[in-house]
């Protein structure tokens, strides 16, 4: 198919839910994508934090191909070695105890919501099912996770939304105390809000949320779909805060480019879900779990130190750009936000034309989620483009 044909068929036959940019990838390696017309792009997005080892990583590819050579799908009535290995590794790394594998971040959050409500139902009976989430959060696109998302723009058209969510100002512990009425069973938050604008939650706030949840037997759910799997310089972002949530959700980078999500519980609700209470046909797919097991096995302290170093390097380089368009450069690890005085969408388009892929977040933020394995040479190439645009 020609480039023009691909674009035409896509426009005609795929629902128009994404504002697509004019890129038709032909091949890609590391942090460089080549379009069908030969133009190269430096990738500071990793497919929204998914391809965390970059494109075409040899080790990752081998893990996937090896598994495809064995078998592609095992139904969940039988065991799967890769899923067991992956679950064991993640629990060893986190101190959490039990996992459920889904196919996406939204599904992971749906599962976490079910788990929290069941925990509370078992212990306190009906009527204690409200979940508090934060303003400018993002938790997914299903009817329930849209309801969980604390942004009004997501609460249109698709009525009725799932009941039982309440929104609270982020980083304000007094507001959370006030919101924690008798009917609340859980608080769900991102330690760094991704879609909402790379908003970093302060340490004293996260610690106070943990304390409040402990005091009231409210479950603390941390949505690590974007912040997890090394993105924030620790295996999970919450590990930067010295706390352990009751439930953690993951997806995006977990499979390094294959669809997989998970919700993970600590001891407290490890036995809450029993036979027949949750399930997923594709959940724990052998190829996805083999990919994820490879990714997770490679995220050790040395790798995470590199993520932190590269993240600091990127932030320093951007901070050094002399431009009145930059308000603030912030971030944790390689989750980076540049608050700008102009439209971040405009910057995204200029960068795209100049051969650099970036994301936006919130109203005024250019968001960078480069592959965690990106080389310094690739970083420099990307920042050079960004510098030209911002100047
Ligand atoms: C992307 C994202 C989701 C949704 O994940 P999907 O895989 O698109 O369903 C949920 N929470 C956060 C924090 C995310 O960044």
What is the per-residue pLDDT across 120-142, written as a single tens digit (0 to 9) for each?
999 999 999 999 999 999 999 99
Ligand 1 atom with the shortest distance to the CA of 190: 13
| pLDDT confidence bin for 372, thresholds 50/70/90 | very high
Ligand 1 atom with the shortest distance to the CA of 223: 13
The rounded percent of the chain whose pLDDT value lies above 90 is: 100
Pocket test for ligand 1, best of 48, 103, 106 (most atoms within 8 A of CB): 106
139 lines ligand 1 (CB under 6 A): yes
What is the per-residue pLDDT across 47-75, written as a single tens digit (0 to 9) for each?
999 999 999 999 999 999 999 999 999 99
Segment 295-305 shows an average pLDDT of: 98
Report CA(107)–ligand 1 centroid distance (Å). Answer: 9
Report CA(251)–ligand 1 centroid distance (Å). Answer: 7
225 lines ligand 1 (CB under 6 A): yes
| pLDDT confidence bin for 164, thresholds 50/70/90 | very high
| pLDDT confidence bin for 362, thresholds 50/70/90 | very high
251 lines ligand 1 (CB under 6 A): yes
Distance CA 326, CA 338 (A): 7
The pLDDT, as a whole number, for residue 42 is: 98
Distance CA 35, CA 40 (A): 6
Segment 172-191 shows an average pLDDT of: 98
Q: Which residue is closest in CA terms to ligand 1's atom 11? A: 139
Report CA(105)–ligand 1 centroid distance (Å). Answer: 4
Q: DSSP character for 188?
A: E
Residue with tokens 């390094």: 256
Distance CA 91, CA 53 (A): 22
Report CA(223)–ligand 1 centroid distance (Å). Answer: 8
For residue 192 the two structure tokens come to 């760094």
Q: Which residue is closest in CA terms to ligand 1's atom 8? A: 105
- Are 40 and 32 in contact by the 8 Å Cβ rule? The answer is yes
Q: How many residues does the chain have?
A: 391
Distance CA 360, CA 347 (A): 9
What is the per-residue pLDDT across 86-117, written as a single tens digit (0 to 9) for each?
999 999 999 999 999 999 999 999 999 999 99
For residue 75 the two structure tokens come to 């139904």
105 lines ligand 1 (CB under 6 A): yes
Secondary element (H or E) of residue 310: helix 301-319
Query: Helices 58-70 and 286-298, interaxial angle, to 10°?
Result: 150
Instruction: Indicate the average pLDDT of the chain.
Output: 98
Cα–Cα nearest to 249, from 121, 104, 149:
104
- Are 57 and 67 in contact by the 8 Å Cβ rule? The answer is no
Distance CA 112, CA 188 (A): 9
The pLDDT, as a whole number, for residue 386 is: 97
138 lines ligand 1 (CB under 6 A): yes
Q: Which residues pair with 167 in a beta bridge?
A: 133
Q: Angle at CA 254, nearest 5°, toward 64 and 50?
A: 90
Ligand 1 atom with the shortest distance to the CA of 106: 9
Segment 287-299 shows an average pLDDT of: 98
Distance CA 229, CA 237 (A): 8
Distance CA 113, CA 238 (A): 19
What is the per-residue pLDDT across 19-45, written as a single tens digit (0 to 9) for each?
999 999 999 999 999 999 999 999 999
The rounded percent of the chain whose pLDDT value lies above 70 is: 100
What is the per-residue pLDDT across 234-277, written as a single tens digit (0 to 9) for each?
999 999 999 999 999 999 999 999 999 999 999 999 999 999 99
Sheet holding 326-332, edge to edge: 326-332, 335-340, 365-368, 359-361
């Amino acid at each position: 198919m020609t480039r023009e044909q691909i674009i035409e068929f896509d426009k005609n036959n795929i629902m128009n839910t994404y504002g697509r940019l004019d890129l038709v990838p032909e091949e890609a390696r590391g942090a460089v994508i080549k379009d069908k017309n030969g133009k190269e792009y430096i990738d500071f997005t990793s497919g929204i934090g998914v391809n965390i080892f970059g494109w075409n990583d040899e080790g990752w590819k081998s893990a996937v191909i090896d598994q495809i050579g064995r078998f592609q799908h095992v139904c969940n009535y039988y065991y799967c070695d890769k899923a067991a290995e992956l679950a064991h590794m993640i629990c060893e790394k986190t101190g959490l105890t039990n996992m459920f594998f889904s196919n996406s971040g939204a599904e992971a959050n749906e599962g976490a919501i079910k788990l929290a409500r069941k925990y509370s139902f078992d212990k306190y009976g009906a009527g204690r099912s409200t979940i508090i989430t934060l303003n400018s959060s993002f938790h997914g696109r299903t009817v329930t996770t849209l309801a969980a998302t604390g942004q009004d723009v997501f609460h249109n058209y698709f009525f009725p939304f799932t009941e039982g969510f309440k929104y609270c100002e982020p980083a304000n512990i007094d507001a959370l105390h006030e919101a924690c009425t008798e009917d609340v069973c859980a608080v769900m938050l991102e330690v760094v809000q991704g879609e909402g604008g790379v908003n970093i939650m302060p340490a004293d706030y996260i610690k106070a949320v943990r304390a409040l949840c402990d005091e009231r037997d409210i479950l603390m759910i941390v949505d690590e779909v974007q912040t997890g799997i090394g993105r924030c310089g620790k295996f999970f972002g919450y590990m930067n805060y010295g706390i352990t949530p009751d439930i953690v959700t993951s997806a995006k980078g977990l499979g390094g480019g294959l669809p997989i999500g998970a919700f993970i519980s600590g001891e407290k609700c490890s036995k809450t879900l029993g036979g027949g209470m949750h399930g997923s046909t594709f959940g724990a797919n052998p190829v996805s779990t083999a990919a994820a097991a490879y990714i997770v096995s490679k995220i050790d302290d040395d790798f995470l130190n590199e993520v932190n170093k590269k993240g600091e390097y990127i932030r320093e380089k951007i901070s050094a750009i002399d431009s009145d368009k930059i308000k603030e450069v912030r971030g944790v690890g390689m989750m980076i936000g540049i608050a700008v005085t102009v439209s971040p969408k405009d910057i995204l388009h200029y960068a795209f034309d100049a051969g650099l892929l970036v994301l936006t977040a919130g109203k005024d933020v250019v968001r960078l989620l480069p592959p965690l394995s990106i080389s310094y040479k690739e970083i420099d190439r990307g920042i050079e483009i960004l510098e030209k645009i911002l100047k």
